[in-house]
Amino acid sequence: MDKLLSLLSENPRLTNSQLSVMLDTTEEEVERRIADFEKNSVICGYSSVINWDKVPGSEKVTALIELKVTPRRDSGYEAVADEILSFPEVESMYLMSGGYDLAVYVTGKTFQDIAMFVATRLAPIDSVISTATHFMLKKYKENGVRLEGETPDERSPLF
Amino acid sequence: MIDYNSVFRDTAREIKPSGIRKFFDIAAEMDDIISLSVGEPDFLTPWHIRKAAIQTLEKGKTRYSANKGMSELCEEITKYYSRRFSLEYDPVTEAMVTVGGSEAIDIAIRTLVNSGDEVIIPEPCFVCYSPIAQLMGGVCVPIETRAEDDFKLTAEQLRAAITPKTKLLILPYPNNPTGAVMRAADLEAVAEVLRGTDIMVLSDEIYAELTYGGEQHVSIASIDGMRERTIVVNGFSKAYSMTGWRLGFVLAPSPVIEIMNKIHQYAIMCSPTTSQYAAIEALRNGDEGVADMRNDYDMRRKFIVNGFREMGFECMLPGGAFYVFPCIKSSGLSSAEFCTRLILFHKVAIVPGDAFGACGEGFVRVSYAYSLSHITEALTRIKRFVDDDLGLSLPQK
């Protein structure tokens, strides 16, 4: 695995100078490689894992919506996927194997927001055959990060 | 009322408690301490190793093993030393399994040291050698390794320390706490001093898998003329993150193993069976996991050395183990004062260098067996300590 990418994916706040020390290279080289990764969409963005439930007034509701869609003759799943991912409510989206086609993660302020979004925006799309909405009750882990209850360090300092 | 002062063995009462322990009584009383003090890996034992042990428990394989360890494990150990360090030992007569490297050190010293025998110990070093030697009535002869020698044992220092009473040389490399390693040429120079003598060597190679920069660990046993006098001690704690399993091993000429095994059989009977099964799995399929951990340590090592140098401290880039040993003399404080103030006012726990021998004074041991974000936070606090409390304007290196 590329060491620079694996460092960035786990520690996105490291500076280029810190990265260069660990990788035995120059700051300029790190900067150039990151720019290349960004240009080629290897690094697609930077985001923080935030537990919004802990920010008063910013609580969010998230749902996983299973969509069954009819692929279009000319463009397969791509055109309908493109139509759906353009909605700002859609946080993540994946084409799936198995019982349904698209897994769409939607966030809103309330349950009602999401219900309305499904009813008025997703369901009416021509290719959409059916929807099944699953509301998330609790987040335990996101993007590899445990959101609560960090395991305490049980190591003894004596050795 | 019994007078306890009259019941204890003199040497047992006289050996000093570990300096690390004394210091950490302070830390135990405080909240929000961020620690760079531990001497064990932060990684969990790789899952395939834990699974192998669980499976043997499920099958009820929980009997005693042979005193010297399962023959299957002894065989894997000798294959491992052949594969990694080009040393050949006979699994039946020249290998044995112990309860951690610690037991191996204990019984090796008990096997060799008579009352009045001198034991040469390069310091700073791990804290157990002197007390065990003292319990046997041995006389400890410390050698002060120096920062300008990269904390290596030099042939000149060794030659000067040898007397007709010298029985044993402890060779603790890769070194805890300095991170120093002895390369083949350094070992050759030491070997030249020892050839033709009856001095034995206890080579504590517990950090052998954790060397960085491409150069592998070299065991002194592989240097010409040294195999016959060397007791190699190693274990699974550091390389495979198996500290709590308490499993180590010894490789040595058969007459030595014979006596060591005799003591081991009376003191211990045999090492824990579950741990032995886990160790077989570790040696058969663990190389890749070790390489991954080594890679991570390597990056943290450079990161933390750079952090101390940017604060103006002299800090050797260590070749092995998972500690750095920066010099804090420029602060004007003793090691103990430095660490005490750091923990009391900035809540960072590190270990004073003199806990590892008097010549460690002026240095501190900092472990990097922690995540990068943890290390970053600790370094930020140490920098605040240096800038605000010490009011130092240390020269930028």
Q: Are residues A93 and A120 in the same domain?
A: yes
Give φ, ψ of A155 to 5 degrees: -75, 140
Asked if A157's CB is within 8 angstroms of B20's CB, the reply is yes
Chain-centre distance for alpha carbon B24: 19
Q: Which residues of chain A make contact with B300, given a CB cutoff of 8 A?
A: 22
Asked if A156's CB is within 8 angstroms of B20's CB, the reply is no
Asked if B21's CB is within 8 angstroms of A158's CB, the reply is yes
Helix (H) or strand (E) holding A103: strand A102-108
Q: How far is B12 from chain A (nearest CA, A)?
A: 20
Q: Are residues B300 and B200 in the same domain?
A: no
Q: Which domain holds residue A100?
A: 52-136
Nearest to A22 among B21, B37, B302 (CB): B302
User: pLDDT at position B397, please?
Assistant: 41
**CATH of residue B76:** 3.40.640.10
| Domain annotation covers residue B50 | no
Q: How far is B114 from chain A (nearest CA, A)?
A: 28
| Those residues with Cβ within 8 angstroms of residue A22's Cβ, 6 or more apart along the chain or in another chain | A3, A7, B299, B300, B302, B303
The reply to whether A153 touches chain B by the CB within 8 Å rule is: yes
Q: Are residues B226 and B246 in the same domain?
A: yes
| Domain annotation covers residue B253 | yes
The reply to whether B372 touches chain A by the CB within 8 Å rule is: yes
Nearest CA in chain A to B19: A158
Q: Are residues A114 and A62 in the same domain?
A: yes
| Domain annotation covers residue B129 | yes
| Domain annotation covers residue A147 | no
Q: Which residues of chain B make contact with A23, given a CB cutoff of 8 A?
A: 299
Which spans in B29-120 are helix H? 47-58, 71-85, 100-112
Quote the strand ranges of A20-101, DSSP E: 61-69, 90-95
Rounded Cα distance, B136 and B128, in Å: 13
Question: Residue B23: which pLDDT band, with cuts at 50, 70 and 90?
Answer: low
Q: Are residues A80 and A115 in the same domain?
A: yes
Asked if B373's CB is within 8 angstroms of A157's CB, the reply is no
Q: How far is B166 from chain A (nearest CA, A)?
A: 28
Q: Are residues A11 and A74 in the same domain?
A: no
The lowest-confidence range among B34-38, B43-47, B199-203 is: B34-38
Share of chain B above pLDDT 90, in %: 88
Nearest CA in chain B to A24: B302
pLDDT for B364 beyond 90: yes
Nearest CA in chain A to B213: A24
**Which of B372, B377, B397 best tests the A interface by mutation, with the highest count of A CBs <10 A?**
B372
User: pLDDT at position B216, please?
Assistant: 94
Contacts A–B by Cβ distance under 8 A: 46
Asked if A22's CB is within 8 angstroms of B300's CB, the reply is yes
Q: Which residues of chain B make contact with A21, given a CB cutoff of 8 A?
A: 302-303, 306
Stretch B160-185: mean pLDDT: 98
Q: Which residues of chain B make contact with A157, given a CB cutoff of 8 A?
A: 20, 24, 27, 35, 37-39, 349, 351
Bridge-based pairing of strands B248-251 and B230-235 is: antiparallel
The reply to whether A25 touches chain B by the CB within 8 Å rule is: no
Q: Are residues B175 and B216 in the same domain?
A: yes
Nearest CA in chain A to B356: A159
Q: Are residues A56 and A81 in the same domain?
A: yes
Count up the domains in chain A and report the number.
2
Q: Are residues B360 and B377 in the same domain?
A: yes
| Those residues with Cβ within 8 angstroms of residue B368's Cβ, 6 or more apart along the chain or in another chain | B36, B297, B300, B301, B303, B304, B322, B323, B324, B375
| Domain annotation covers residue B108 | yes
pLDDT for B392 beyond 90: no
**CATH of residue A126:** 3.30.70.920
DSSP letter for A132, please: E
Q: Are residues B207 and B102 in the same domain?
A: yes
Place of tokens 């040993």: B325
Residue where one domain finishes, among candidates B252, B286, B320: B286
Q: Which domain holds residue B259?
A: 61-286
Count up the domains in chain B and report the number.
2
User: pLDDT at position B391, please?
Assistant: 65
Q: Are residues B307 and B279 in the same domain?
A: no
Q: Are residues A57 and A31 in the same domain?
A: no
The reply to whether A34 touches chain B by the CB within 8 Å rule is: no
Q: Are residues B206 and B307 in the same domain?
A: no
**CATH of residue B358:** 3.90.1150.10
Q: Are residues A15 and A77 in the same domain?
A: no
Tens digit of pLDDT for each residue in A77-132?
999 999 999 999 999 999 999 999 999 999 999 999 999 999 999 999 999 999 99
Nearest CA in chain A to B20: A158
| Domain annotation covers residue A156 | no
Tens digit of pLDDT for each residue in A42-83?
999 988 888 888 899 888 999 999 999 999 888 899 999 999
Q: Are residues B250 and B262 in the same domain?
A: yes
Q: Are residues A128 and A59 in the same domain?
A: yes
Q: Are residues B235 and B132 in the same domain?
A: yes
Nearest CA in chain B to A23: B299
| Domain annotation covers residue A45 | no
Q: Are residues B102 and B231 in the same domain?
A: yes
Q: Are residues A56 and A129 in the same domain?
A: yes
Q: Which residues of chain A make contact with B101, given a CB cutoff of 8 A?
A: none
Q: Are residues A34 and A94 in the same domain?
A: no
User: pLDDT at position B21, please?
Assistant: 67
User: pLDDT at position B396, please?
Assistant: 47
Chain-centre distance for alpha carbon B217: 14
Among B207, B221, B242, B161, residue whose Cα is nearest residue B322: B207
pLDDT for A159 beyond 80: no
Which of residues 180 through 219 in chain B touch A, CB cutoff 8 A? none
| Domain annotation covers residue B201 | yes
Q: What is the dihedral of CA B170, B171, B174, B180, to 10 degrees?
A: 100
Asked if A157's CB is within 8 angstroms of B38's CB, the reply is yes
The reply to whether B43 touches chain A by the CB within 8 Å rule is: no
Residue where one domain finishes, among candidates B237, B254, B286: B286
| Domain annotation covers residue A56 | yes
Q: How far is A14 from chain B (nearest CA, A)?
A: 9
Q: Are residues A83 and A12 in the same domain?
A: no
Nearest CA in chain A to B127: A159
| Domain annotation covers residue A20 | yes
Q: Which residues of chain A make contact with B349, given a CB cutoff of 8 A?
A: 157
B116: left (phi over 0), alpha (psi -120 to 50) or beta: left
3-state class (DSSP) for residue B214: coil
Q: Are residues A12 and A61 in the same domain?
A: no
The reply to whether A158 touches chain B by the CB within 8 Å rule is: yes
Neighbour tally for B47: CB within 10 Å: 9
Q: What is the dihedral of CA B386, B388, B392, B395, to 10 degrees?
A: 70
Q: Are B164 and B302 in contact (CB under 8 A)?
A: no
Average pLDDT, chain B: 94
The reply to whether B38 touches chain A by the CB within 8 Å rule is: yes
Tens digit of pLDDT for each residue in B240-250?
999 999 999 99
DSSP letters, B307-356, are HHHHTT-B----SBTTEE--B-GGGTS-HHHHHHHHHHHH-EE-EEGGGG
**CATH of residue A20:** 1.10.10.10
**Which of A7, A22, A23, A49 best tests the B interface by mutation, with the highest count of B CBs <10 A?**
A22
Asked if A11's CB is within 8 angstroms of B373's CB, the reply is yes
| Domain annotation covers residue B393 | no
